Structure 1
Amino acid sequence: MPMDVSFSFGSFDFFCNSVVMPLCALVGEKVEPKCYARNIDVGGSLLFQPATLAILFVALIMTSIMIYHIKSKYTAVGRKEIVLFFYSYMIVIIFELMLYSGAIPASSSIYSYVVAMYNGMIIACYIILLLNGFVGFQWAEDGTATSLWIIRGSAIAGFFVTFFISIATFKSITGFDSKSPVLLFLIFYVFCPASLLIYVVLQIILVIKTLDDRWPLGDICFGISFFIIGVIGQYFLSEIICTMGDHYLDGLFWGVVFTLLSIMMVYKYWDSITKEDLEFSVGGKTNVWEIKDPMINDEEMMVLAEEHYKLKQQVMGNRR
């Protein structure tokens, strides 16, 4: 039975001692969890983490549904930007299905490269979410090539930088050391939480400063609460969950469930800051921000109304 490992900054051993993580077989002392979910035999092959895999399949379905509803809101502000986040999350799920199921064993020659790509996609996902936090402030006109390629370019850069750092760390090349993966530790446990915090703060400011409705704040609170509960259960309560669940569940299952719930709240929040308009959306959703601006005068309102009418005619013409 694996021994208890104390926390050390820059080391994954403490977390690997609590829950299954793909990179644990490649860094540090290659520590194994004290307790983990039992495997099942499928056609003579072992399938790891069956309960977690079931939730990941549910996550794929739910993410597909959310993407469909986002894309049905044809003129919603930030529609093209936010859908990038859900696509990236879907790719992360696919990597998790491959790695957690044991489809690619740790002994495989390609395992380290797949884990490096998985790490890169996680960081790309965080970067996309972070930059989506600025979309509501119109730093660049949403839906344009400029806005989309800033996000895509940043995510691609984050992916390749993380991929390189991961491979260099796993292979102990170019000055990196698999026994001391400090840079990877900083990426996952400093950059990722900081990105999430900035996104949350930006959305709170957006709601307070520009929206009449305060209900979206509830979505933000639920989302961050689900995420924190997931992290606590995954990293700090995994052994308890595993023991109480008779080795059918562990902290990984808990983390995946609450990550999905937090992702769903990101969608719910985005959906809540757009109104409904039967004329514009198949799903009966509207496509404008609920922005309050007492400085708009009657003449400006007439101009906006005329532009709205022209846009409506254009959309109706395209449907014909």
Structure 2
Amino acid sequence: MSQYGKWFDFCRDSGSAQSTIPVCNLFNESPSRGGSGYDGGCDLTGISLSGDRHLANLGSILLCGIAIAASAYLIWRSERKKAAVGRREIQIFLAAYIIIEICEIFTVGHFPLDGDVRRGFSAVHIATVVATCWILMLNAIIGFQLLDDGTPLSIGLVLLSAAMLFIGTGYIALDTTFSWTGYWDDTLDAPNQAYALYTLYQLVPIVFLFVFYVLEAYLVLRILGEKKPMIYLTGAALLFIIAQIFQYVISVHICNGTDGAINGGLFETLFTLLAVVMVWIFWSSITEDDWPMPVASGGAYA
């Protein structure tokens, strides 16, 4: 039987009672499952609170706060680069990442929330991840100056297209977990084979990120004729890959080794933050004044 679209094993290994993969919260907290968790996985408990409640992944929560502050700082730094290509667009990317981190506080780092609230945050988290990766890919396209950057048209196209992806993905996630139409109800029980969510959350962002990397590599190597920025770009890619390895491969081993205190979600948050910072450093490095980029109408690298 095909494994495509199946979430059960991922969810079981990322925290039996409270998964740190947001998609899993849609199944685990669904009415048909009653929030019962995934048998055979490591039970992420974290810090015990009163009333048999737990605060899980406190480290992730703190890192999310740091990520929000760091992103706000980078938005401010971007504002000072008045002549930089894609300044507004990279700020939109950072703002979208802030929304992801706000959601992660309640999905990767678990507050003792009502199930409906957690499912709502999880749906927003999933939708924002897809939209943010799309925005990042558009930043690479904007770097070629096919369209004047920073104009109402450019910003409008970025925001409108991202909003369409956000709404579409968010609706599927919400309809899956709240069973508004009942169309996705067969995904709520093991093996949680949700083709749409698997494609949107697992595969689509990878495609967007791959296209971003290829386009930026072409821009740097063939158009700018430089190699140093590739260190930052490749560093960002490697940091992101490490984050995913911690989330999907190492997480269960960390959880077992710490008796449920933490899992890979903590390190996924950390390395994703480092990847985002490296993306900004890469963008900043190719918008310096000394690159041999010809002046284009409406915006330029020089």
TM-score scaled by structure 1? Answer: 0.79
Task: Spell out the pairing of 1:1-320 with structure 2 (5 A cutoff).
Answer: 8-19=3-14, 20=19, 21-27=21-27, 31=38, 34-35=41-42, 37-41=44-48, 46-103=54-111, 105=113, 107-108=115-116, 110-172=117-179, 173=181, 175-177=183-185, 178-179=187-188, 180-245=193-258, 247-275=260-288, 288=289, 290-292=291-293
Change (3 A) 1:189 1:71: same
In structure 1, give the amino acid aligned to 2:292: I
Find the aligned partners of 1:98 and 1:112 in 2 and give their Cα distance: 10
In structure 2, give the amino acid aligned to 1:25: N
Aligned-pair distance for 1:71? 1.1
In structure 2, give the amino acid aligned to 1:290: W
Larger Rg: 1
Find the aligned partners of 1:116 and 1:198 in 2 and give their Cα distance: 25
In structure 2, give the amino acid aligned to 1:138: Q
Structure 1 residue ranges without an equivalent (≥5): 1-5, 276-287, 301-306, 309-320
Find the aligned partners of 1:91 and 1:223 in 2 and give their Cα distance: 20
Query: What is the total number of aligned residue pairs between the two structures?
Result: 279
CA contact (8 A) 1:7 1:13 kept: no
Structure 2 residue ranges without an equivalent (≥5): none
Aligned-pair distance for 1:26? 2.5
CA contact (8 A) 1:7 1:14 kept: no
Aligned-pair distance for 1:92? 0.8
Change (3 A) 1:139 1:186: same
Aligned-pair distance for 1:104? 6.1
CA contact (8 A) 2:60 2:266 kept: yes
Change (3 A) 1:33 1:196: farther
Matched residue of 1:46: which SS?
strand
Matched residue of 1:224: which SS?
helix
Deviates more, 1:15-24 or 1:37-46: 37-46
Matched residue of 2:115: which SS?
coil
Change (3 A) 1:114 1:196: same
Change (3 A) 1:69 1:165: same
Higher RCO (CA 8 Å, separation ≥ 6 residues): 2
RMSD between superposed Cα atoms in Å: 2.7
| Paired position in structure 2 for 1:278 | none
